[in-house]
Amino acid sequence: MLVKRYHAKDMQAAMEVVKRELGPDAVILNSRKTRRKGFKNLFSKRILEVMVAYEPEKAPIARKINGYLSRQQTEPAVPARAEAEEEPQSAEPDNGETLKRLNERIETLGQMVAGLIDKFGEFAAAEPERRYPESLEALVSRLTENRVDGELAHTLARDALDIIAVQPGVSAEDVMEQLILDLVGVPEPVLHRRYKRKTVLVLGPTGVGKTTSIVKLAANFALKQNKKVGIINTDMYRIGANEQMKTYTDILSIPFGAVYQLDELGGVIESMRDRDIIFIDTAGKKPGDDQHREDVLEIIRIARPEDMLLCVPASTSFSAVKEIIDAYEFAGDFKLVVTKLDETDFRGMLLNLIWYARKSPAYVTTGQNVPDDIDVLDAAGLAERLLH
Ligand SMILES: Nc1nc2c(ncn2[C@@H]2O[C@H](COP(=O)(O)OP(=O)(O)O)[C@@H](O)[C@H]2O)c(=O)[nH]1
Ligand SMILES: [Mg+2]
């Protein structure tokens, strides 16, 4: 017993060619509507496909070509444009069960393929992605050239499109600029109210610039705003961390306290009770480290910081940035210090990370010079630079 597949425009046309080629004993196993194979047929009309079982010896055409049927491509013989493909059976002795199983498998595969083809057809025939007007398209390109994440750039463009649709007179650039300003929000630097002591906890993984940023901030508050500042280092893991800090605090005459065990922290904070602002530096362990998380939570519990700053470098990949933000989500409501902006020409990461973190930005740092290379984020300047 062999199985053969025919394509025809309808059942009658299929039956005609089957009877003529395979003889009157050929049995139709099943039939279904399908499309012809091949990419160019994906969008063609469906045709009928029939699976036929037959005995080669009883098939008139098969008899003529003397047993080579299984390897030959039978040409369609009728105007119904029926065509057949060989399905050689296994060498096992035929029985109804084998045939049934094979048939079921073919049917399942057929359905899977048909399903995929239909899906692909729908996809290909779907409405093309919404195009932007030329002015908006150019702005999207500028954003992505500046390494703004593609998804973010399109989100902004779609929002802009909605605004432009109801306010036709406005310029795409003005709208985009406003959307960027809205996204960035109002930067929230550390503010000190007179007579109120403030504790600021600085977080982030190793090497992102926590210590340097603290020294810059402390120096600015001390030198430019005449505030009494203090610095406490809770980095118990890094040998040399305290020497690095001491060099600066000595030059700046800023009291400095080192904490080697967290239960000393309360006392050291207490010893600085005359200070206006106390910065607390933390160890930058690997993000996601359980012990580190416990330590940070303990520091928060003891110090009750009014402000928390998370340092994130702008000079790294978006996936690394996401990892840092995710790893410190547990800490709660921190503000962002975007460090090492001088190490990249692109400003997109600044926007990406504010968008991803959904936190207010505070500062950007732009180099290793203490105390100059730190500024409150300039949202308008950022929007301008991203769009021009
Ligand atoms: N280029 C550049 N380097 C920076 C900046 N901030 C910090 N660094 C450098 O990054 C390195 C790690 O800084 P550090 O403050 O010790 O990081 P911490 O481990 O987070 O405390 C040091 O070599 C710093 O001088 C910055 O804004 N730009
Ligand atoms: Mg440090």
**The ligand 1 atom nearest the CA atom of 235:** 21
Measure Cα distances from 190 to 84, 187, 344 in Å: 79, 10, 25
What distance, in Å, lies between the first and last C-alpha atoms of the chain?
A: 73
**The ligand 1 atom nearest the CA atom of 339:** 27
**The ligand 1 atom nearest the CA atom of 374:** 27
For the stretch 318-325, contacts whose Cβ atoms lie closer than 8 Å and that sit 24 or more positions apart, written own/partner, are 318/149, 318/349, 318/352, 318/353, 318/356, 321/349, 321/352, 321/353, 321/356, 322/356, 323/287, 323/288, 324/204, 324/205, 324/208, 324/287, 325/353, 325/356, 325/357
Q: In this model, does residue 20 exceed pLDDT 50?
A: yes
| Paired tokens of 295 | 């330590």
Please tell me the distance between residue 288's alpha carbon and the centre of ligand 2 in angstroms.
18
Lowest pLDDT segment from 83-92, 223-232, 358-367: 83-92
pLDDT band at 32; cut points 50, 70, 90? confident
Spatial CA neighbour of 205 closest among 145, 140, 286: 286
Residue type (1 letter), 257? G
Beta strands in 165-283 (DSSP E): 198-203, 229-233, 256-258, 277-281
pLDDT digit string, tens, across residues 72-118 = 444 443 334 444 554 444 444 557 787 888 877 877 776 666 656 55
- Segment 13-37 mean pLDDT: 81
> Would the CB of 369 count as within 6 Å of ligand 1?
no
User: Which residues, in sequence order, are CB contacts of 212 under 8 Å at separation 6+?
Assistant: 339, 365, 368, 370
User: Strand, coil or helix: what is 230?
Assistant: strand
Please tell me the distance between residue 316's alpha carbon and the centre of ligand 1 in angstroms.
13
Please tell me the distance between residue 285's alpha carbon and the centre of ligand 1 in angstroms.
15
Q: Could you check whether the bond before residue 255 is cis, i.e. omega within 30 degrees of 0?
A: no
Q: In this model, does residue 162 exceed pLDDT 60?
A: yes
Q: In this model, does residue 306 exceed pLDDT 90?
A: yes
For the stretch 377-382, contacts whose Cβ atoms lie closer than 8 Å and that sit 24 or more positions apart, written own/partner, are 377/184, 377/187, 377/338, 377/350, 378/187, 379/180, 379/181, 379/184, 379/185, 379/186, 379/187, 380/181, 382/180, 382/184, 382/347, 382/350, 382/351
**The ligand 1 atom nearest the CA atom of 343:** 1
Nearest CA to ligand 1 atom 13: 209
Say which CATH topology domain 198-387 has. Rossmann fold (3.40.50)
Instruction: Please report the DSSP string for 112-128 in residue order.
Output: HHHHHHHHHHHHHHSPP
| Paired tokens of 69 | 């049927």
Please tell me the distance between residue 351's alpha carbon and the centre of ligand 1 in angstroms.
21
pLDDT band at 128; cut points 50, 70, 90? very low
For residue 277, what is the DSSP state?
E
Give the torsion through C-alpha atoms of 157, 163, 165, 168, to 10 deg.
Answer: -110
Q: In this model, does residue 149 exceed pLDDT 70?
A: yes
Share of the chain above pLDDT 70, in %: 81
| Paired tokens of 355 | 């968008």
Ligand number nearest to the C-alpha of 369: 1
Q: In this model, does residue 51 exceed pLDDT 50?
A: yes
Domain range annotation of the chain: 2-125, 134-184, 198-387
Ligand number nearest to the C-alpha of 365: 1
> Would the CB of 368 count as within 6 Å of ligand 1?
yes
At 109 the pLDDT is 77
Task: Give the number of other CB atoms < 10 A from CB of residue 303.
Answer: 21
> Would the CB of 245 count as within 6 Å of ligand 1?
no
**The ligand 1 atom nearest the CA atom of 238:** 19
**The ligand 1 atom nearest the CA atom of 365:** 27
Please tell me the distance between residue 345's alpha carbon and the centre of ligand 1 in angstroms.
18
Ligand number nearest to the C-alpha of 204: 1
Q: In this model, does residue 140 exceed pLDDT 60?
A: yes
Please tell me the distance between residue 204's alpha carbon and the centre of ligand 2 in angstroms.
9
Please tell me the distance between residue 146's alpha carbon and the centre of ligand 1 in angstroms.
23
Strand 361-365 relative to strand 335-339: parallel, antiparallel, unpaired?
Answer: parallel
Determine contact, residues 227/221, Cβ cutoff 8 Å.
Answer: yes
Please tell me the distance between residue 283's alpha carbon and the centre of ligand 1 in angstroms.
14
Please tell me the distance between residue 209's alpha carbon and the centre of ligand 1 in angstroms.
4
Among 238, 368, 375, residue to substitute to test ligand 1 (most atoms within 8 Å of Cβ): 368
Among 208, 210, 211, 212, residue to substitute to test ligand 1 (most atoms within 8 Å of Cβ): 212
pLDDT digit string, tens, across residues 166-205 = 998 899 999 999 999 999 999 999 999 988 999 999 999 9
Lowest pLDDT segment from 100-114, 134-148, 366-380: 100-114
pTM of structure: 0.69
> Would the CB of 282 count as within 6 Å of ligand 1?
no
How far is it, in rounded angstroms, from Cα 18 to Cα 238?
Answer: 84
Lowest pLDDT segment from 62-66, 202-206, 295-299: 62-66
> Look-up: residue for tokens 């982030």?
204
- Segment 1-9 mean pLDDT: 82
